Amino acid sequence: MNFKHKYVFLFPGLFVLIGILIFPIIFTIRLSLSGWNSYTPEMNFIGITNYIRLFTDDPRFWESFFRLSFLSVSTVILQYIIGFALALMVWREIKFKRFFRVIFLIPMMTTPVIMTVIWRTFFHESLGPVNDLLGNIGIGPILWLSDPVIAKFTVIIVEVWQWTPFMFLLLLAGLLSLPKEPFLAAAIDGASSFRKFVYVTFPLMAPISIGAIIIRLIEASKIMDTVFVLTSGGPGTATETSSFYIYIKGLREFQMGYAATLSFTYLVIMIISLTIIAKVLTKLMIKE
Amino acid sequence: MKIIKTCLTAIISSVMIFSPMAYADKWSDQFPHIKATGDIPGECSYESMSKKNYKGKTLKINTHAVPVMGEPTALHAEQFAKLTGAKVDVTHTPAGDLYAKAMVPFQAGQAPYDIVFGFSNFINDWRRYLEPVPKKYVEMKQMQDVTPSHIGIASWDGVMYQFPVDGDRHYLKYRKDVIDNPKYQKKYKADTGKELRVPRTWKEYGEMAAYFNDWDWDGDGEKEYGSAEVMKKDDLMYAAFYSRSAAYSKNPKTPGGFFFDLETMKPLINNPGFVEALTDWVEATKYVPPGGINFGLGDEIGSFGGGQTLFSFSWDDAFVAAMQPDSPINNKVGAAQLPGAMKVWNRESNSWDEGFNQAPFFVWGWAVGVAKKSKEKEMAFDYLCFFANEANHQADIGIGRFGVNPFREADFKADVWTQIGWDKDIAQSYVDTLAEMEKSKNRVFPLRVPGTFEFNAALATAAAKALAGQLSPQAALDEAAKQWEDILNRVGKDNVRKAYAVGVAMEDNKL
């Protein structure tokens, strides 16, 4: 094929890539160097003032980042454990296998915002059914949404409920694609179910597990809708995450320039940290 | 001949007297919303609007979510469309996003909405993008009845940018069946040694709320609580905090600023007056219903309006909701001015002035303007004028969930409220409360400066941290004051001072 023809085929894709990825990133970087806000809506160049503010005078962003790290890591670990257990359960020959497979996927099919509104109603401390039920057995009322510590776990409960099916789906697909021979060999050797899981299933599932965990970590690190609807980042700032904080700065307080600084910094941190996490997981889970 | 003359006079008089009612019948048949009054003649009445022809034109409105303000916007849009032939598209937006939803297109030089709803404290940021209200509307009869304070809130430098559709203030709401109940008065006296009465101070409010917390005092089989308040960070809680702070910090002897010292532009929000108010508020977390620390305005309306608490203070909505016929506490509530304090901070002498002080907070109201870049300005102003016409206004103010509250002199008459089923003494106490606020010389008006949103958000975040126990009241307000200094430096002290001076002049009774 002629060399130039290759570029003709590449250009449309390249243009789309520039339009939807490269341009927004460059624009965000430029915006982050401006003081655009509600009273000076212009791309005035203020150098790295916003970055200095972020690194020297904005503990709230860093608090929200560490909170996000805790929330995303803990939810993904729980989703992985529960999702793997459920996938193993319906991987075997059990009754109503197809029924369970569909049932386990339902939370993922629902709209997150609507489900969070329903969860918020469940957890409403004085009017919600959860405290009512617990009250019947002499427990509570538990401050699901107004205690700074418990509120974090409430967010985790909702996130785990909503997104465990995604993990379940990926892991089940992985289990179904595993070769049968290693399992037959293990059976011939008389390995117990536990040993089969530890020495055959889990190692074989490692590459898929890493992929699933990274995908979920990327998604979980963007957690916004659950926090927005369930707690609005409260009580105080107890459940405020990075994306919610960026949203507040950008679209509530209209500090567009500073919000762009936060967004770009956050993007860089996430790229670096997820790359490191993927490397570490690969080293830990995949043995040569 | 004399008999014929008398008969003719009687017939003509009857026609003259009953002609408005004839119109009223005609329009209220089609539009049951105004069945109580029928159409009321005026520049923007149903009759007047029916003569307009906007067929083939589309009016785009961005308003708040249903029901508060969103429901009346949609209702009047539907009525306006039927009367004029216009197509009206209404978009509903959560309160926290109203500002940005308008600002993003404003700053991009676009006008996706002809009409934008927001809060009156957006005026400084929005006014350069809004069309001033035309003279013919400013001078018309229905506008002449708007109270001077609400004309002031809708205007900037004498130019009206926001069309008055609502008037808001914070005041105290209490359960009359408890506070005025001799049995409870006796019990309270016996248990505490104090009088049970409408609380004069925030300390009394706290004591009574704590006493009536977490037990079934109305015999309905459910526990009741002390107070329902807006404590949710992103849901207007800063306004609730200013209400609690006014008595401790708005000193009539030290004019020149409540939020800042106008001369130096030093933030005042961490002075001992504000700290005392926040300390009281932290204490209040003990006598709100479970989860009360996360109550937004809707929760507060539902909680007090549903009979769950003894007290509440904020906008009219909870009171009006409580007075609706379907409310479990219909005609069991009372209204009074916000509690005061027995001391007020004097920033000049740097000490407390002892003695009773009270300061009404006018908060802000829902506000609405027409985009300067709108191509349908005339239709837009006609819609707003129709929204606030006398018949619609009288119907709207009687529905708590609508969020339309009194802002006209005519609203401060007890008859308006007894006609919709309120007991006479409750109606009287309500209008007296509102009227006293209008007359007060020690009022606080909302912060309306460039970057208002940033200032209020910083304050709300700090107060929320104190309520959640993350910081002490002093540390929280020091943090907020530091952020206010940073915002001032970014926006420019002189820019803020220039804008703030307008509000201070209103507070100091110079406007």
> pLDDT (tens digit, 9 = 90+) per residue, B222-261?
899 999 999 988 778 999 999 999 999 999 999 999 999 9
- Closest chain B CA to residue A244: B234
Residue A143 at interface with chain B, using a CB cutoff of 8 Å? yes
pLDDT for B317 beyond 90: no
Q: Quote the percentage of chain B above a pLDDT of 90.
A: 71
Q: Is the dihedral of CA A195, A201, A202, A204 positive or negative?
A: positive
What is the per-residue pLDDT for B286? 96
Contact (CB<8Å) A236/B464: yes
**Alpha-carbon span B38 to B61, nearest angstrom:** 26
- Per-residue pLDDT, averaged over B461-485, amounts to 96
**Alpha-carbon span A227 to B142, nearest angstrom:** 44
Residues A188-216: tens digit of each pLDDT: 999 999 999 999 999 999 999 999 999 99
Local confidence band at B420 (pLDDT 50, 70, 90 cut-offs): confident
Nearest-CA distance B202 → chain A (Å): 23
Residues B36-45: tens digit of each pLDDT: 889 999 999 9
Radius of gyration of chain A (CA): 23
Local confidence band at A42 (pLDDT 50, 70, 90 cut-offs): confident
In single-letter form, the type of residue at position B66 comes to: V
- Per-residue pLDDT, averaged over B325-338, amounts to 92
pLDDT for B494 beyond 60: yes
**A60 to chain B: which residues are within 8 Å by CB?**
461
- Closest chain B CA to residue A247: B97
What is the per-residue pLDDT for B362? 85
pLDDT for B148 beyond 80: yes
Local confidence band at B2 (pLDDT 50, 70, 90 cut-offs): low
pLDDT for B4 beyond 60: no
- Closest chain B CA to residue A231: B294
Taking the CA atoms of residue A234, residue A238, residue A239 and residue A241 in that order, the dihedral angle to the nearest 10 degrees is 110
Residue B328 at interface with chain A, using a CB cutoff of 8 Å? no
In single-letter form, the type of residue at position A154 comes to: T
Task: Say which residue the tokens 């916004």 belong to.
Answer: A224
What is the per-residue pLDDT for B458? 94
What lies within 8 Å, CB to CB, of B86 at 6+ separation is B54, B55, B57, B58, B59, B80, B379
What is the per-residue pLDDT for A288? 61
- Per-residue pLDDT, averaged over B132-136, amounts to 96
Question: How do B266-267 and B260-261 pair as beta strands?
Answer: antiparallel
Q: List domains and CATH numbers for chain A.
A: 58-285 (1.10.3720.10)
Could you check whether the bond before residue B32 is cis, i.e. omega within 30 degrees of 0?
no
- Per-residue pLDDT, averaged over A28-50, amounts to 93
**Alpha-carbon span A193 to A187, nearest angstrom:** 9
Contact (CB<8Å) A254/B235: no
What is the per-residue pLDDT for B253? 95
CATH of domain B171-362+442-507: 3.40.190.10
Alpha-carbon distances, residue A122 vs A116, A126, A129 (angstroms): 10, 10, 5
Cβ–Cβ under 8 Å, residues B277 and B313: no
Local confidence band at B19 (pLDDT 50, 70, 90 cut-offs): very low
- Closest chain B CA to residue A234: B233
Which A residues, 160 through 199, put their C-beta within 8 Å of a C-beta on chain B?
A: none
HSE on the CB side for A97, CA within 13 Å? 9
- Closest chain A CA to residue B490: A35
Of B117 and A10, which is predicted with more confidence?
B117
**Alpha-carbon span B239 to B243, nearest angstrom:** 6
Local confidence band at B18 (pLDDT 50, 70, 90 cut-offs): very low
- Closest chain A CA to residue B291: A125
Q: Rounded to the nearest 5°, which phi and psi values hold at B404?
A: -100, 115
Residues B339-398: tens digit of each pLDDT: 999 999 999 999 999 999 999 998 877 999 999 999 999 999 999 999 999 999 999 998
Contact (CB<8Å) B453/A38: yes
End-to-end CA distance of chain B: give it in Å, rounded: 61
Residue B233 at interface with chain A, using a CB cutoff of 8 Å? yes
Return the number of CB contacts < 8 Å for A and B: 107
**A251 to chain B: which residues are within 8 Å by CB?**
97, 100
Contact (CB<8Å) A252/B453: yes
Greatest pairwise CA separation for chain A in angstroms: 79
Task: Say which residue the tokens 């617990």 belong to.
Answer: A134
pTM over 0.80: yes
pLDDT for B13 beyond 80: no
Q: Which of A125, A236, A254 sits opposite B468 (nearest CB)?
A: A236
Contact (CB<8Å) B467/A236: yes
Work out the angle at residue B73's Cα, subtended by the Cα atoms of residues B72 and B77, and round it to the nearest 5 degrees: 110
Residue B462 at interface with chain A, using a CB cutoff of 8 Å? no
What is the per-residue pLDDT for B7? 55
Q: What is the pLDDT of chain B when averaged over all its residues?
A: 91
Contact (CB<8Å) A146/B293: yes
Local confidence band at B55 (pLDDT 50, 70, 90 cut-offs): very high
What is the per-residue pLDDT for A45? 95
Which A residues, 28 through 47, put their C-beta within 8 Å of a C-beta on chain B?
A: 35, 37-39, 41
Q: Which of B291, B294, B465 sits opposite A237 (nearest CB)?
A: B465
Nearest-CA distance B284 → chain A (Å): 14
3-state SS, chain A, equals: CCHHHHHHHHHHHHHHHHHHHHHHHHHHHHHHCECCCCCCCCCCECCCHHHHHHHHHCHHHHHHHHHHHHHHHHHHHHHHHHHHHHHHHHHCCCCCHHHHHHHHHHHHHCCHHHHHHHHHHHHCCCCCHHHHHHHHCCCCCCCCCCCHHHHHHHHHHHHHHHHHHHHHHHHHHHHHCCCCHHHHHHHHCCCCHHHHHHHHHHHHHHHHHHHHHHHHHHHHCCCCHHHHHHCCCCCCCCCCCHHHHHHHHHHHCCCHHHHHHHHHHHHHHHHHHHHHHHHHHHHHHCCC
In single-letter form, the type of residue at position A101 comes to: R
Choose from A58, A139, A252 for mutation: most chain B CBs within 10 A.
A252
What is the per-residue pLDDT for B73? 97
Q: Is the dihedral of CA B170, B171, B172, B175 positive or negative?
A: negative
- Per-residue pLDDT, averaged over A112-138, amounts to 91
Q: Which of A60, A124, A235 sits opposite B293 (nearest CB)?
A: A235
Six-digit token string for A121: 């109603």
Alpha-carbon distances, residue A202 vs A193, A197, A208, A213, A281 (angstroms): 12, 6, 10, 14, 13
Residues A79-92: tens digit of each pLDDT: 999 999 999 999 88
What is the per-residue pLDDT for B16? 44
Q: Which of A126, A248, A253 sits opposite B289 (nearest CB)?
A: A126
Contact (CB<8Å) A39/B308: no
Q: Which of A38, A126, A255 sits opposite B291 (nearest CB)?
A: A126
Q: Where are the domains of chain B?
A: 25-164+366-404, 171-362+442-507
Closest CA to A218 of A177, A163, A175, A158: A163
Q: If 0-12 CB within 10 Å is exposed, 13-18 middle and 19+ buried, where does residue A66 land?
A: exposed
**B467 to chain A: which residues are within 8 Å by CB?**
235-236
Contact (CB<8Å) A252/B457: yes
Nearest-CA distance A146 → chain B (Å): 6
What is the per-residue pLDDT for B15? 46
Contact (CB<8Å) A39/B96: no
Same fold, B25-164+366-404 and B171-362+442-507: yes
Of B446 and B209, which is predicted with more confidence?
B209
Cβ–Cβ under 8 Å, residues A17 and A10: no
How would DSSP label each residue in B200-240? Answer: SBHHHHHHHHHHTSSB-SSSSSS-BEEEE----TTTTHHHH
Alpha-carbon distances, residue B389 vs B47, B135, B414, B490 (angstroms): 11, 17, 20, 42
What is the per-residue pLDDT for A3? 65
Contact (CB<8Å) B234/A253: no
Contact (CB<8Å) A253/B125: no
Choose from A36, A37, A64 for mutation: most chain B CBs within 10 A.
A37
Nearest-CA distance B100 → chain A (Å): 6
Burial profile A91-102: b = 16 or more Cβ within 10 angstroms, e = fewer:
beeeeeeeeebe
What is the per-residue pLDDT for A186? 93
Q: If 0-12 CB within 10 Å is exposed, 13-18 middle and 19+ buried, where does residue B41 land?
A: middle
Alpha-carbon distances, residue B241 vs A97, B274, B280, B374 (angstroms): 56, 9, 10, 37
What lies within 8 Å, CB to CB, of B77 at 6+ separation is B59, B61, B88, B90, B383
Contact (CB<8Å) B451/A35: no
Q: Which CATH number fits domain B25-164+366-404: 3.30.420.40, 3.40.190.10, 3.40.50.970, 3.10.20.30?
A: 3.40.190.10
What is the per-residue pLDDT for B243? 96
Residue B292 at interface with chain A, using a CB cutoff of 8 Å? yes
Which A residues, 105 through 134, put their C-beta within 8 Å of a C-beta on chain B?
A: 124-126, 131
pLDDT for A107 beyond 70: yes
What is the per-residue pLDDT for B120? 87
Residue B107 at interface with chain A, using a CB cutoff of 8 Å? yes
Six-digit token string for B66: 């249903």
Closest CA to B238 of B467, B433, B58: B467
Local confidence band at B330 (pLDDT 50, 70, 90 cut-offs): very high
Closest CA to A34 of A191, A279, A261: A261
Of B174 and B490, which is predicted with more confidence?
B174
**Quick check: helix, strand or coil at residue B274?**
helix
Work out the angle at residue A92's Cα, subtended by the Cα atoms of residues A91 and A93, and round it to the nearest 5 degrees: 125
